[in-house]
Amino acid sequence: MARLFADENFPLPAVEALRRLGHNVLTIHEAGKAQQSTPDDIVLKMASADGRAILTLNRKHFVQLHAKQPLHAGIVVCTFDPDFEGQAQRIHDALKSPPQLTGQLVRVNRPTT
């Protein structure tokens, strides 16, 4: 299973659902860095230094960071979805296919109705 680092804007219920699916997810709050206005590039470096792919709803900034700093442990960008269990399952399914998250940008979108 994946080692993930959930940034400040990623919903805790989705984190908990990912943990139930077997993923090792650390939140920025658990890392002691919450509410410090840590810049996204630093958050990405922190996650990568710990061998964790970043998990975020902040798609715009992290897609840009991926283009500028392709050497990272992985970036999983998601759209907001109030169906946290469904969101976690889609992330879980998306992470089955890339054999290695290092340097990868994975996009997980909520389904359209």
Over the stretch 38-83, which tens digit does the pLDDT of each residue have? 899 999 999 999 999 999 999 999 999 999 999 999 999 999 999 9
Residue 57 domain-assigned?
no
72 is written with which tokens? Answer: 């990272």
The residue among 58, 79, 57, 73 whose CA lies nearest residue 105 is: 73
Residues 6+ apart with CB under 8 A from 12: 27
**Number of folded domains that form the chain:** 1
Residue 60 domain-assigned?
no
pLDDT at 98: 67
Residue 73 domain-assigned?
yes
Residue 21 domain-assigned?
yes
pLDDT at 96: 87
Give the pTM.
0.93
Residues spanned by the domain of 97:
3-50+65-108
Residue 56 domain-assigned?
no
Are 16 and 22 in contact, with CB atoms under 8 Å apart? no
Cα 60–39–57 angle (5° rounding)? 35
Mapped onto helix, strand or coil, the DSSP state of residue 25 is strand
Confidence of residue 34 (pLDDT cuts 50, 70, 90): confident
Residue 13 domain-assigned?
yes
Residue 58 domain-assigned?
no
Mean pLDDT of the chain: 93
Cα 2–85–106 angle (5° rounding)? 40
pLDDT at 35: 77
